[in-house]
A and B are shown apart, each in its own frame.
Chain A
Amino acid sequence: MSALLEVHELRVFYRKVEGLHRASLRMEEGSVVTVIGPNGAGKTTLLGAIMGLLPSSGAVRYAGADLAGVPTEARVARGLCLVPERRELFGELSVEDNLRLGAFQRVRHGERDAMRDLAAIYARFPRLQERRAQLAGTLSGGERQMLALGRALMAKPRLLMLDEPSLGLAPRVVRDIYRIIADLKRAGVSILLVEQNARAALQVADRGYVLETGQITLEGSAAELAANPRVIESYLGLSARVSQTL
């Protein structure tokens, strides 16, 4: 079976500095893959390059097609969606308008009943329904993350990429988010999850990659990585200590 996403020797330069050095990864349809690594390792850069937001060299193949030269909005139309770390919501628009705009590509390509999915999104995030008329800029951190997720789901993603979905959120909200990720996985959505919270990420993922200073240094099944002494020391140990101090 060919992979849904295949990244081959991807390189990204910020002026002269290499943000990503020949990173390669692949993921199967319906799987959850996580990329863990410290701050500044190039995780966000990797997602930005896959999404076409950053110029890169190397190859990104998605659903059997080379994405070279395909602009971001066309990638969205093919079911590739990113929930960025900064959420990038439309702060001066209402919650509901943010969600509606999530389906922009579908409406543009003639899907007339795309807005029916609003009901499903509200069923998943009752909080968003309560706040549907409120401006997105006035939401709390957890609500913003839910709105960003909901907006991405309105695009009916085939591959959903999440950048630090738990960053800066209260533990209860983090649990909610991970429960939703597990739900989506059961519904057959492929998920590429970038996290500093390695413990949570490896629990939900099938496979994982470790990205350090722009390079993939380790890869394997989630169970293998969770048992790897270096991962335990660098990522799980640290997060265990941090969660104790919290």
Chain B
Amino acid sequence: MNLDTVLWLVQDGISNGAIYALLALALLLVFAVTRVIFVPQGEFIAYAALSLTMLQAGQLPGTVYVLVGGGLLAAAYEIAAALRARATARLPRVLAFYVLLPVAIALLAWWAAPRKFDLWVQALIVLGLVVPLGPILYRIAYQPLANASVVVLFIVSMAVHYALTGLGLLFFGGEGLRSAAFSDAQFKLGVVNVTAQSVLVVLASVLVMLALWLFFTRSLYGKALRATAVNRTGARLVGIPAELSGSLSFLLAAFIGAVSGVLVAPIATIYYDTGFLIGLKGFVGAILGGMASYPLAAVGALAVGLLESFSSFWASAFKETIVFTAIIPVLVWRSLTSHHVEDEEE
């Protein structure tokens, strides 16, 4: 193993690690705000990556059906709730978000697909297709159970994961797809060839993290999400609705998932069920970081990326085994040094 190989592996590890770091942040955010262990986070990646590839092929991605169908289902929940509470004033806004917006985006995708626009435009359309899925999923699967225990919410997450994977198989088929790269450029940095694609991945991840940091430290809504994460009762007492924070955290998670999917589409072959494994590695990163601190989770995820890239060089057959086994010593060490995190205060 020479220096070239090491640097190449580091580059590979860092660009994968950057994506895992984004996912780790999304998982932490959703867990802190809603107590949901968000297993389907990976599905956003697969949906985004596969939608992008289908748009490149000039086909209408099946995501539009999931989006419009899910939006209608969420709207049905809202209408039922509004009728029960006899509060119909909110309905127009709700219907605009759950019905009009998905239909509009679906029509846009349908119009744009055969025209084969530039990759960047297609990436934007993919964001439009995938991001609204976050709040829609929250409304359908989680909001009605907002007060359930962590275990119940986890089981719901597994169900949502299987449902979305099944729909993915239905709409995208079982074939693996890989999108064209945003740029084929390469340049030499010392002895190593750096691909523009991996620079883009790292750059985009850093930008998204920076944007999230600004959102959480500067905007009132970002602070409201943090407030909900640290004290749920306090958040209710200042008038932050639990549904609003839940919906917002799922929106951010879907956004992060969609961005990751777009970034990963050109560097890996994605199947309808690949997202789960990628999401799981983000989860490992979050656990390495202690499931509490965002910077530590990002560092943990980066470590996962590096570990994965080096183990695929030395023992590619055991790549996943090595990555997932790495959790065990960390968990043992954490259980010995830190005190137990309570399930719920009440």
> Chain A interface (Cβ within 8 Å of chain B)?
51, 53, 69, 71-74, 76-77, 81-82, 84, 86, 88-93, 97, 100-102, 104-105, 107-108, 151-152, 155
**Contact yes or no, B226 A92, CB < 8 A:** yes
Which of B85, B227, B233, B241 has a CB less than 8 Å from the CB of A101?
B227
The answer to whether A89 touches B231 (Cβ under 8 A) is yes
Min distance, Cβ A54 to any Cβ of chain B, angstroms: 11
Contacting residues, chain B, for A71 (C-beta < 8 A): 241
In the complex, are the beta carbons of A101 and B238 less than 8 A apart?
Answer: yes
Give residues 226-249 of B contacting A (CB, 8 Å): 226-227, 230-231, 233-241
Q: Which 9 A/B pairs are nearest by Cβ-Cβ distance? A: A76-B239, A105-B239, A88-B234, A73-B239, A73-B241, A90-B227, A72-B236, A92-B230, A88-B233
Question: Could you list 28 examples of A-B contacts with CB < 8 Å?
Answer: A51-B237, A53-B233, A71-B241, A73-B236, A73-B241, A76-B237, A76-B238, A76-B239, A77-B239, A81-B237, A82-B237, A88-B233, A88-B234, A90-B227, A90-B235, A91-B230, A91-B231, A100-B220, A100-B223, A101-B220, A101-B238, A102-B238, A104-B224, A105-B238, A105-B239, A108-B239, A152-B237, A155-B239
Interface string of B68-103 (1 = CB under 8 A from A): 000000000000000001000000000000000000
What is the minimal beta-carbon distance from A93 to any residue of chain B, in angstroms?
6
Which of chain B's residues has its CB closest to A114's CB?
Answer: B220
**How far does the alpha carbon of A82 sit from the alpha carbon of B234 in the complex, in Å?**
10
Contacts A97-B223, A101-B223, A104-B220 known; A90 to B234 CB distance under 8 Å?
A: yes
Query: Which residue of chain A is the closest to B240 with respect to CB atoms?
Result: A104
Range, interface on chain B: 10 to 19
Is there an interface contact between A89 and B236, defined as CB atoms closer than 8 Å?
no
Q: Tell me whether A104 and B238 are in contact in the complex, defined as CB-CB below 8 angstroms, given that A90-B226, A92-B226, A93-B223 are known contacts.
A: yes
- Min Cβ gap B195→A in Å is 40
